[in-house]
């Protein structure tokens, strides 16, 4: 009997933490549905969700967050895979590059925000270079790359941090594929580029999709970069939600929670999509590896 | 042949430059007195920024040190929990295994701000808001998927073949754990620990909301300075932030290399 | 296609893996590269295929130098020891890989795939997933995939090592068949001497990164060029001794021979030794392998062992102590260099 319980005993702390997390999620969902006994709101209602969805500011925020996470993920994955592939083939100074790639992974998002500001802001380095090259004459002529409505600054910040993450995440996997299957493909007459795209890349997809999933969900729901590099309108969803949350009038709370609820939903949909895609892609490949 | 190689080399150089240049720029900025637009060089070298970080802001240094301790604690708990969970997932088969495995990845799906906002009232109810306990709980929760993952992979790779062998030779499971399994898992344990440390040290929202201004970590301290005007000061703070992360990380890396060398007798 | 390798040296991480490699294979010849694990055989194949750079030396195919040609243009195909069938492709897609590169249109590809599957006795399995195949089937598909590329030179790295005995025999026949049909220059790396002896036109014996002997199977078996080569083919016992005044002397034996003075190792094949009356050797073990029987005796003083093949049928009364009578014409001697 005790033997059967061992795994559960080992997992007890994990389960406790997860229960706390689930409580937080449940609370958000319930409060979003208007259930806040402390405020005398005892009825479940979709009013808050309805209000949220009919608010153009909210849809702008939602779209902005989706846009930011989609664009930054696409670029981060493309650049990350490119760096990964180049790194595998680079023999010289390999150690140096591997260590440099680790730096963004160790850098807190807060620092990344400062980097983006230093380089791309109107008073940043790029703007100064443009002035010195006589491309612009006044500080205002430099375009608003960062605090801009499409969140370009935010996207740049995410790419800086996430492309190396993707490269690092995929590295050992892609390396083992490259050493064996890519070699076989070249041997059969495929040029290095052809063998990369027809063999290495498809076989590395499980790891690449895994990395993409992690950064996509993260960049959708993270607070720091959108707050530090975002513009007043539209705000990214996490920023918007927190503003509502910290409103002194507690009756705004369910509204904030409804926005959180939407974020939870979108994240879950992304997760479901990933598991479906991942399952499809890697089931056949996984089985052959296990042989 | 050489054409392809030089393109690849170019890509790596460009990538390395994109990574190193911002860091270098910020470092330089932190050491200037003033660097106004449109100058390409700062006004003069100065330690004004660092004076602010270490001397003027008396709290600043104290907060840095206590942040390091908090993150060490978070990393410790996350690693222990991660190891126990990894042991359960890789060595046992039991109902709900798949669900719990998925659950351990849940913090990756639910953003930390949503967790913090959702649990806030309950932490208040339980009296752990504005306390290190609450902050730690949040940090550990969000480090946990990574430690479970890292330790899970290597626990599974190690398998129980050595423990089985030890048992056959008459060794108790406790002894086997300390003399065989743990030493072999040590590199992975340290790797998980350092990853958890970095994640905890960089955490902002959880500390900000659940710590309520009472528990202040370095991340919470530096955050408002980024959008403030003075880049020299922001740079100085951020540089200290970045360096302490990298320093601790390199410390752990060195520890791993040392242990692997001692145990296995080869370099990695 | 004729292959010639001259003075090849390949190094990895500053260490020479193979050096002074000189070998050649005529058009349509089946060459086996034989040697123990770690002697550099696989490195040799990879270097010829272009996957490893040469530190020194050159490779010629049909008289033209190819070591500066990139690997994917050499048309020298290697069947890897770990097979490496592409997991994300079916059997047909794997085989078609080289055909697609050659831009053969779909109908041509399908016909070729069908023909190859027939030759490897796997008709109808075009759409099987790789992970559904057995080890032997995977091996065959890997062979078909290589053949589809129509290589000038076909190379195989220990193609049968992961298969069990029965399968190995069938695969050997298959490879032999295919070699005859295509008349393709084939180089096979193996550590199994029976395979090398039974399948090859020529054998190159490798040890510690060097080719120590190369010749026909009979040549190498009957006349190993040195002690290492002799040891490789087994079935023999070795005794150290000295030759002086026309006689080889070791603690165990004394034999007339016409060699120059010096230190030698005497090789006694198991069919060169016969039991006679005597007591300097003691019985240790009887080794029965089904189609052969050996007795192992140990010298009373030195402890050296000698293996004798049983040529008669009677196995019941083995003398505990015996002497060994040697058949002079089957003995071989290897000089020990004075250093």
Q: What is the DSSP string of B130-193?
A: TSHHHHHHHHHHHHHHHHHHHHHHHHHHHTTHHHHHHHHTT--HHHHIIIIIHHHHHHHHHHHH
- Residue C130 gets which letter from DSSP? G
Contact between residue C113 and residue C95 where contact means Cβ atoms under 8 Å apart: yes
Cβ-based neighbours of A96, under 8 Å, separated by 6 or more = B16
CATH of the domain at A164: 1.10.3720.10
Task: Give the residue with greater pLDDT, B1 vs B178.
Answer: B178
Each residue's pLDDT expressed in tens, for chain C with a length of 339 residues: 788 888 888 888 888 888 888 888 999 999 999 988 888 888 999 999 999 988 889 999 998 899 899 999 999 999 998 899 999 999 999 999 999 999 999 999 999 999 999 988 888 888 989 989 988 899 999 999 999 999 989 999 998 888 888 888 888 888 988 888 888 899 999 988 888 898 899 999 988 888 889 999 998 888 888 888 888 877 788 888 888 888 888 888 888 888 888 888 888 888 888 888 888 888 888 888 877 888 888 888 888 888 888 776 666 677 888 888 888 888 888 888 764
Q: Which residue of B has its CA nearest to A122?
A: B37
Count of domains forming chain B: 1
Scan residues 216-245 of C and list those with Cβ closer than 8 Å to A.
none
This complex has an ipTM of 0.89
By three-state DSSP, how is residue A236 classified?
coil
- The 8-class DSSP code of residue A182 comes to I
Alpha-carbon distance C67 to A214, whole Å? 45
In which band, very low, low, confident or very high, does the pLDDT at B139 lie, cut at 50, 70 and 90?
A: very high
Is residue A291 within 8 angstroms of chain C, CB to CB? yes
Chain A residue numbers touching B227 (CB-CB < 8 A): 117, 228
CA C103 to chain centre: 36
Complete DSSP assignment for A66-132: HHHHHHHHHHHHHHHHHHHHHHHH--TTHHHHHHHHHHHHHS-HHHHHHHHHHHHSTTSHHHHHHHH
At residue C338, the pLDDT reads: 61
* CA within 13 Å, CB half, C250: 21
Instruction: Tell me A181's DSSP state.
Output: I
Give yes or no for residue A142 having a pLDDT over 90: no
Mean pLDDT of chain B: 88
The number of folded domains in chain A is 1
Q: Which positions ≥6 away from B107 have C-beta within 8 Å?
A: A21, B115, B141, B142, B144, B145
- For residue B230, what are the CA distances in angstroms to A133, A166, B25, B33, B49? 26, 33, 15, 10, 9
Interface of B with A in 204-233 (CB under 8 A): 204-205, 219, 222-223, 226-227, 231
pLDDT in tens, B78-123: 999 999 999 999 988 888 888 898 899 999 999 999 999 999 999 9
What's the CA angle centered on B76, arms B115 and B69, to 5 degrees? 85
pLDDT in tens, A212-264: 999 999 999 999 999 999 888 889 999 999 999 999 888 888 889 999 999 99
For residue A133, give its domain range. 50-290
Q: Which chains touch C (3 or more CB pairs under 8 A)?
A: A
Is a pLDDT exceeding 80 seen at residue B229? Answer: no
Looking at the partner chain, which of A189, A191, A198 has a beta carbon nearest the beta carbon of C75? A189
pLDDT for A289: 47
Neighbours of chain B (3+ CB pairs under 8 A): A
Q: What tokens appear for C243 in the block?
A: 């030759």
C56-61 β-sheet, strand order? C15-25, C3-12, C56-61, C64-65
Secondary structure letter of residue C75 according to DSSP: -
- Rounded distance between C-alpha atoms, residue B210 and residue B133, angstroms: 10
Closest CA to C280 of C254, C257, C256: C254
Tokens of C147: 């053949």
Q: Residue B27 to residues A99, B20, B266: CA-CA distances in angstroms?
A: 19, 11, 37
Q: How far apart are CA A65 and CA A230, in angstroms?
A: 11
Residue C316's pLDDT is 66
Interatomic CA distance for residues A124 and A138, integer angstroms: 13
Tell me whether residues A188 and C80 touch, CB distance under 8 A: no
pLDDT tens-digit map of B10-52? 999 999 999 999 999 998 888 887 877 777 777 778 887 777 7
How far is it, in rounded angstroms, from Cα C246 to Cα C250? 13
**CA–CA dist B206, B209 (Å, integer):** 5
Radius of gyration for chain B, computed over Cα atoms and rounded to the nearest angstrom: 23
Q: Assess if residue B179 is contained within a domain.
A: yes
User: Which pLDDT score, from 0 to 100, does residue C313 have?
Assistant: 62
Per-residue pLDDT band for A19 (boundaries 50, 70, 90) equals very high
Q: Which of B203-207, B235-239, C99-103 has the lowest mean pLDDT?
A: B235-239
CB pairs under 8 A between A and C: 67
How many degrees, rounded to 5, is the angle at CA A35 between CA A34 and CA A38?
Answer: 115
Query: Which contacts of B20-24 are long-range, i.e. CB under 8 A and separated by 24 or more positions?
Result: B20/A100, B20/A103, B21/A119, B22/A115, B22/A118, B22/A119, B22/A160, B23/A103, B23/A107, B23/A115, B23/B242
Residue B35: predicted pLDDT: 79
Supply the pLDDT for residue A191: 92
Q: How confident is the model at residue A129 (pLDDT cuts 50, 70, 90)?
A: confident
Residues 144-173 of C with CB under 8 A from A: 145-146, 149
pLDDT in the model for residue B268: 45
Of A4, A159, A192, A2, nearest to A88 by C-alpha is: A192
The token pair that represents A2 in the structure block: 């005790």
Residue B86 maps to a domain: yes
* B8: in domain: no
Interface touch C129/A284, C-beta < 8 Å:
yes
Cβ within 8 Å, pair A238-B198:
no
pLDDT at B131: 92
**Smallest CA–CA distance from C98 into chain A, residue:** A188
Q: Is residue A121 part of a domain?
A: yes
List, in sequence order, every residue forming a beta bridge with C154; answer none if it has no partner.
C77, C186
| Cα–Cα distance measured from residue C298 to residue C304, given in angstroms and rounded to the nearest whole number | 6
B29 part of a folded domain = no
Please give the residue that has the higher pLDDT: either A102 or C336. A102
CATH 3.40.50.300 fits C3-230, yes or no: yes
Q: Give the residue from A89, A182, A189, A289 with the most C CB atoms within 10 Å of its CB, the best one to mutate.
A: A189
What CA–CA distances, in Å, run from A106 to B202, B241, B245? 9, 10, 7
Q: Which residues pair with C69 in a beta bridge?
A: none
Determine which of B1, B2, B11, B15 to mutate to test the interface with A (most A C-beta atoms within 10 Å).
Answer: B15
Q: Which residues of A touch C75 (CB under 8 A)?
A: 189
Helix (H) or strand (E) holding B219: helix B218-227
B/e letters for A250-262, b = 16+ CB within 10 Å, e = fewer, are eeebbbbbbbbbb
Cα–Cα distance for residue pair A230/C272, rounded to 1 Å: 91
The pTM is what? 0.87
Going by their DSSP bridges, the two strands C30-35 and C185-190 should be labelled as parallel
CA of C47 vs chain A CAs: smallest distance (Å): 12
How far from C285 is each of A167, C124, C181, C324, CA to CA, in Å?
Answer: 61, 52, 46, 15
Q: Collect all residues of chain A within an 8 Å Cβ-Cβ radius of residue C129.
A: 284, 287-288
Highest-scoring range by mean pLDDT, A158-167, B182-191, C265-274, C313-322: A158-167
- Return d(Cα A148, Cα C281) in angstroms, integer: 96
Q: What is the CATH number of the domain that holds B222?
A: 1.10.3720.10
CA distances from B22 to A207, B30, C116, C246 (A): 29, 12, 58, 85
Instruction: Using alpha carbons only, give the angle C156, C197, C36 rounded to the nearest 5 degrees.
Output: 60
In a domain, A155, yes or no: yes
Q: Is there a contact between A14 and B106 if contact means CB atoms under 8 Å apart?
A: no
The angle at the Cα of A282, spanning A280 to A285, to the nearest 5 degrees, equals 125
Strand order in the sheet with C30-35: C76-79, C153-157, C185-190, C30-35, C202-207, C210-215
Please answer whether residues C198 and C31 qualify as being in contact, where contact means their C-beta atoms are separated by less than 8 angstroms.
no
Find tokens 């059997």 and name the residue.
C91
Residue boundaries of the structural domains of chain C: 3-230, 235-335
Question: Within a 10 A sphere around the Cβ of C188, how many other Cβ atoms?
Answer: 27
How much is the pLDDT for B266?
Answer: 55
Q: Does C81 touch chain A (CB under 8 A)?
A: no
Indicate whether A36 belongs to any domain: no
Number of residue pairs across A and B with CB atoms under 8 Å?
235
Which of A8, A97, A114 is nearest residue B226 as measured by Cβ atoms?
A114
> Measured between CB atoms, which of A181, A188, A290 is closest to C98?
A188
In degrees and rounded to multiples of 5, residue B37 shows phi and psi of: -65, 140
**CB burial string B158-185: b at 16+ within 10 A, e below:** beeeebeebeeeeeeeeebbeebbebbb
Q: Quick check: A177 contacting C, CB < 8 Å?
A: no
């Amino acid at each position: 009997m005790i033997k059967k319980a061992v795994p559960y005993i080992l997992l007890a702390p994990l389960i406790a933490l997860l229960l706390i997390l689930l409580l937080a999620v449940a609370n958000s969902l319930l409060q979003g549905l208007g259930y806040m006994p402390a405020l005398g709101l005892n009825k479940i209602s979709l009013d808050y969700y309805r209000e949220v969805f009919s608010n153009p500011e909210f849809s702008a925020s939602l779209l902005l967050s989706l846009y930011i996470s989609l664009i930054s993920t696409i670029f981060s994955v493309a650049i990350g895979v490119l760096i990964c592939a180049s790194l595998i083939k680079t023999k010289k100074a390999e150690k140096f590059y591997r260590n440099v790639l680790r730096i963004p992974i160790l850098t807190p998002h807060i620092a990344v925000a400062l980097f983006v500001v230093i380089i791309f802001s109107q008073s940043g380095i790029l703007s100064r270079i443009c002035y010195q090259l006589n491309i612009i004459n006044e500080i205002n002529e430099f375009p608003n790359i960062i605090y801009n409505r499409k969140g370009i600054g935010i996207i740049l910040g995410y790419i800086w941090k996430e492309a190396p993450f993707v490269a690092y995440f995929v590295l050992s996997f892609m390396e083992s594929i490259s050493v064996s299957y890519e070699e076989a493909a070249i041997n059969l007459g495929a040029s290095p580029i052809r063998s990369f795209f027809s063999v290495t890349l498809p076989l590395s997809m499980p790891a690449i999709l895994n990395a993409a999933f992690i950064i996509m969900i993260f960049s959708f729901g993270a607070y720091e970069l959108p707050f530090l590099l975002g513009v007043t309108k539209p705000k990214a969803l996490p920023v918007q939600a927190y503003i509502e949350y910290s409103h002194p009038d507690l009756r705004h709370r369910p509204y904030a929670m409804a926005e959180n609820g939407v974020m939870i939903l979108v994240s879950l949909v992304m997760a479901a999509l990933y598991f479906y895609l991942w399952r499809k892609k890697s089931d056949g490949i996984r089985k052959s590896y296990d042989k | 042949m050489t054409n392809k190689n030089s393109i690849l080399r170019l890509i790596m150089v460009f990538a390395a430059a994109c990574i190193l240049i911002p860091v270098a720029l910020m470092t330089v900025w932190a050491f200037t007195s003033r660097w106004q637009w449109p100058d390409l060089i700062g006004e003069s070298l100065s330690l004004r920024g660092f004076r602010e970080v270490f001397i003027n802001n008396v709290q600043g240094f104290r907060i840095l040190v206590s942040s390091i301790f908090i993150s060490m604690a978070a990393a410790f708990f996350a690693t222990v929990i991660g190891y126990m969970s990894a042991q359960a997932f890789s060595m046992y088969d039991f109902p709900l295994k798949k669900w719990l495995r998925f659950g351990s990845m849940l913090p990756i799906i639910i953003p930390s701000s949503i967790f913090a906002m959702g649990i806030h009232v309950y932490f208040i109810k339980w009296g752990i808001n504005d306390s290190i306990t609450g902050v730690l709980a949040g940090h550990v929760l969000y480090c946990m998927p990574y430690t479970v993952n890292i330790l899970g992979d290597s626990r599974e790779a190690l398998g129980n073949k050595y423990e089985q062998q030890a048992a056959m030779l008459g060794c108790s499971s406790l002894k086997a754990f300390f003399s065989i399994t743990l030493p072999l898992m040590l590199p992975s344990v340290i790797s998980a620990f350092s990853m958890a440390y970095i994640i905890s040290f960089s955490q902002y929202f959880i500390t900000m909301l659940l710590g309520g201004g009472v528990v202040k970590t370095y991340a919470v301290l530096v955050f408002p300075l980024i959008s403030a005007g003075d880049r020299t000061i922001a740079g100085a703070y951020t540089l200290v932030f970045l360096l302490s992360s990298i320093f601790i990380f390199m410390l752990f890396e060195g520890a791993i290399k040392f242990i692997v060398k001692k145990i296995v007798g080869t370099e990695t | 296609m004729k292959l010639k390798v001259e003075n090849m040296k390949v190094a990895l991480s500053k260490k020479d893996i193979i050096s002074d490699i000189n070998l050649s294979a005529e058009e349509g010849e089946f060459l086996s590269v034989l040697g123990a694990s770690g002697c550099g055989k696989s490195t040799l194949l990879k270097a010829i295929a272009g996957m490893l750079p040469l530190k020194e030396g050159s490779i010629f195919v049909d008289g033209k130098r190819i070591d500066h040609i990139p690997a994917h243009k050499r048309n020298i195909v290697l069947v890897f020891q770990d097979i490496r069938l592409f997991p994300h492709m079916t059997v047909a897609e794997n085989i078609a890989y080289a055909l697609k590169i050659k831009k053969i249109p779909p109908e041509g590809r399908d016909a070729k795939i069908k023909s190859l599957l027939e030759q490897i006795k796997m008709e109808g399995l075009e759409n099987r997933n790789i992970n559904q195949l057995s080890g032997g089937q995977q091996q065959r598909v890997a062979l078909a995939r290589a053949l589809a590329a129509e290589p000038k030179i076909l190379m195989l790295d220990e193609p049968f090592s992961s298969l069990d005995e029965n399968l190995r025999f069938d695969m050997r026949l298959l490879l032999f068949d295919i070699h005859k049909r295509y008349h393709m220059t084939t180089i096979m790396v193996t550590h199994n001497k029976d395979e090398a002896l039974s399948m090859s036109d020529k054998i190159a014996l490798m040890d510690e990164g060097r080719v120590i002997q190369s010749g026909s199977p009979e040549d190498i078996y009957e006349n190993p060029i040195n002690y290492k080569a002799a040891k490789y083919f087994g079935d023999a016992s070795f005794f150290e001794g000295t030759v002086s005044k026309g006689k080889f002397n070791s603690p165990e034996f004394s034999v007339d021979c016409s060699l120059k003075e010096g230190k030698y190792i005497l090789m006694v094949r198991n069919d060169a030794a016969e039991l006679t009356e005597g007591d300097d050797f003691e019985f240790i073990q009887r080794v029965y392998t089904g189609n052969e029987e050996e007795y192992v005796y140990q010298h009373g003083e030195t402890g050296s062992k000698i293996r004798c093949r049983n040529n008669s049928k009677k196995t019941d009364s083995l003398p505990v102590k015996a002497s060994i009578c040697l058949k002079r014409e089957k003995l071989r001697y290897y000089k020990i260099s004075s250093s």
